[in-house]
Structure 1
Amino acid sequence: MQSAVLPDGRQIYCVNAYEVEFGIHEIFSDDLTARGLRLPANGTYLDVGANIGLFSLYLRDRCPQARIIGFEPMPAVFAPLAANLAALTPPGEAVELALGDRPGWAEFDYFPGIAALSTQNRAVGQTMAAGLRALLGGHQAGSEVQHIVERTGAAEAVADDGFLDALLRPERVRAQVDTLSAQIAALGVEAVDLLKIDTEGSEREVLAGLAEADWPKIRQLLVEVHLGPEVTETMAADLRGRGFSTTIGAHPLSQGGAAVFHIYAARP
């Protein structure tokens, strides 16, 4: 593991320190309450595809007595996640699993150089890698993202032959999968105040693993969709059909050409 320092001086564990500032920009700059979501201080939050736990830290800062459970299947990423959640007060819970439409095992593309890109959906991983390549190369990036690239020193590094090829080269990793409903039961969760899903292309499979009897337990969702605008709208429409109000926002990587969106969904 490596370590990194957040803007407020806190130290966290990570896979690659240079990834952390991008994650902070994506997560901490998003005001969920302005998107219509409520963050009860003592709620229950499921962070599916938690990576190193930056979203869980975001929640702890705003929800001091919340129960926070993070799911992450990649072993190299789970180690810093577990350490970061253990350091919270009160501690969060880390579960080394992917969530999908059925229990079992699955093959993932794990990106050691950019761990946040790791995915079970190879096509999505390639699209995200291409989008990140464009951003790191300074193409199509907005001013805020470009400033981050410059601060991390990536602008100079990408000039080296083969740097991005090495950075964005995946490895195959096998990981265990369970369903969301099975984990809700195993963890004794009676209600979910916010279900956050960021699984790099497997978001539909995660929701397919939620039994009909458990849907009423889900009060709000934040879903990062990596499958394009049509799938995003279809998923939002499905959520509206279940009684949620929805809004849609664009992910920072969309500046690099990756069609990534956020669905914010809440029950009235």
Structure 2
Amino acid sequence: MSTISDLKASYQAGRLDKAGYIHAMYERHSVLLDHAQHLAPTNLAEIRIKAGEVTATFKDPPITMVCPPADTRIAPIEAFNFGDYEHAEIQLVRRLVGLLGGAKVRFLDIGANAGFYSLALSQWFPGLRGTAFEPIPSTFGHLCRNLALNAVTGIAPRNLGLSDQAGELVFYTYPSQSGSSSMTRNVDAADVQEVRCPVTTLDAYSAQHQQGADFIKCDVEGAELFVFKGGSQIIRRDRPAIFTEMLRKWCAKYQYHPNDIISHLGGLGYGCHVVSDGRLAPCPIITEETKETNFIFLHRDQHAAIAAALS
């Protein structure tokens, strides 16, 4: 199918007459009407086309996000394709942050990508303050744009990765699915790009910036264990609630198993819970039968009442 640019060029060059041009262009425009028809049953309120930019606004949370060219898995596109984006997880996180203290919570968004969780929590809890870490420069640009679009001033974006060491490391990123970016090549995509990004440890960052934490969201495509090892001091000191992704296939790329995270955080006083049907259920071990991929770690002493309320 010819692009709009191709059609305009053909018309201007005289290869396509006016009637043919109008008909061909309407076929391209009709997709707008098709999108409008299918928007209602999703969690998207609107899709807006501006010069050089497409944005989408969610119904709940009421946030607006850029839809970058080529990214097939960005949150608004996922919401349009499947009706919503991580609905059960974000709603449970909403309840959790409310129980932790709402706007008073010190929030760390590790592997922020375009900022969906930072944006959502900032809308639900005005005044929330925190830090969003995103190492990939292009994705970091989208994060900053989204924070500006939503007038979020309490979340400080940092173009920085977190691990168990400091330095500059190679990341693999994919314009077609920016959320799969990692320090290993997790997906077989032709558009893979290698970028070098600065990395530090959460403990070092905390010490330098007097950063505390009450709630940590960590989604770094398999490198979660290294983030937690590099943040053991702040986790032991502040006892934050932790929401993290753990996928066996991604962890295997880093030569460890999700149970190693359960063991490491268990040594710091935490119990693992699976997010299932909008509630928490204890998950002392991950097996080959475990289907869930998102988990919440709560400190056995600090969060006993919260664990009971969400179970």
**Cα distance change on mapping 1:211 and 1:219 into 2, 3 Å:** closer
Partners of 2:133 and 2:239 lie apart in 1 by 17
Q: 1:53 is matched with which residue?
A: 115
Partners of 2:241 and 2:85 lie apart in 1 by 20
Partners of 2:218 and 2:93 lie apart in 1 by 17
Q: 1:73 is matched with which residue?
A: 135
- Could you state the TM-score of these two structures normalised by the residue count of structure 2? 0.62
Task: Tell me which amino acid in the other structure corresponds to 1:40.
Answer: G
Determine which of 192, 199, 207 is the counterpart of 1:177.
199
Determine which of 57, 61, 64 is the counterpart of 1:6.
57
Alignment of 1:61-100 (within 5 A): 61-86=123-148, 87-100=150-163
**Cα distance change on mapping 1:77 and 1:34 into 2, 3 Å:** closer
Determine which of 168, 188, 193 is the counterpart of 2:214.
193
Q: Conserved in 2, the CA contact under 8 Å of 1:50 and 1:72? A: yes
- Could you state the TM-score of these two structures normalised by the residue count of structure 1? 0.71
Determine which of 214, 238, 244 is the counterpart of 2:264.
238
Q: Which segment is superposed worse, 199-208 or 2-11?
A: 2-11
- TM-superposed CA distance for 1:120, in Å, is 0.6
Aligned partner of residue 179 in structure 2, secondary structure: helix
Q: Which segment is superposed worse, 221-230 or 200-209?
A: 221-230
**Cα distance change on mapping 1:94 and 1:216 into 2, 3 Å:** same
What are the Cα deviations for residues 10-68 of structure 1, in whole angstroms up to 9, with x where unaligned?
43234346422356534343232598664422211000000010010121122212112
2:277 equivalent to 1:247: no
Figure out how many residues of one structure are paired with residues of the other and give that number.
219
**Cα distance change on mapping 1:55 and 1:213 into 2, 3 Å:** closer
Aligned partner of residue 29 in structure 1, secondary structure: helix
Alignment of 1:1-268 (within 5 A): 2-8=53-59, 10-16=63-69, 18=72, 19-21=74-76, 25-30=84-89, 31-32=91-92, 38-41=99-102, 42-86=104-148, 87-122=150-185, 125-126=186-187, 166=190, 169-189=191-211, 191-212=212-233, 215-228=236-249, 231-249=257-275, 261-267=293-299, 268=303
Segments of 5+ residues of structure 2 without an aligned counterpart are 1-51, 277-290, 304-311
- TM-superposed CA distance for 1:91, in Å, is 3.7
Q: CA RMSD in A?
A: 2.9
Partners of 1:14 and 1:182 lie apart in 2 by 34
Segments of 5+ residues of structure 1 without an aligned counterpart are 130-164, 251-258
Q: Conserved in 2, the CA contact under 8 Å of 1:44 and 1:194? A: yes
**In terms of Rg, which structure is larger?**
2
What are the Cα deviations for residues 145-192 of structure 1, in whole angstroms up to 9, with x where unaligned?
xxxxxxxxxxxxxxxxxxxx55xx311111111111111123322x31
Q: Conserved in 2, the CA contact under 8 Å of 1:40 and 1:63? A: no
Aligned partner of residue 196 in structure 1, secondary structure: strand
**Cα distance change on mapping 1:48 and 1:5 into 2, 3 Å:** same
Q: Conserved in 1, the CA contact under 8 Å of 2:56 and 2:76? A: no
Partners of 1:23 and 1:181 lie apart in 2 by 34
Partners of 2:270 and 2:227 lie apart in 1 by 18
Identity %, equivalent residues = 24
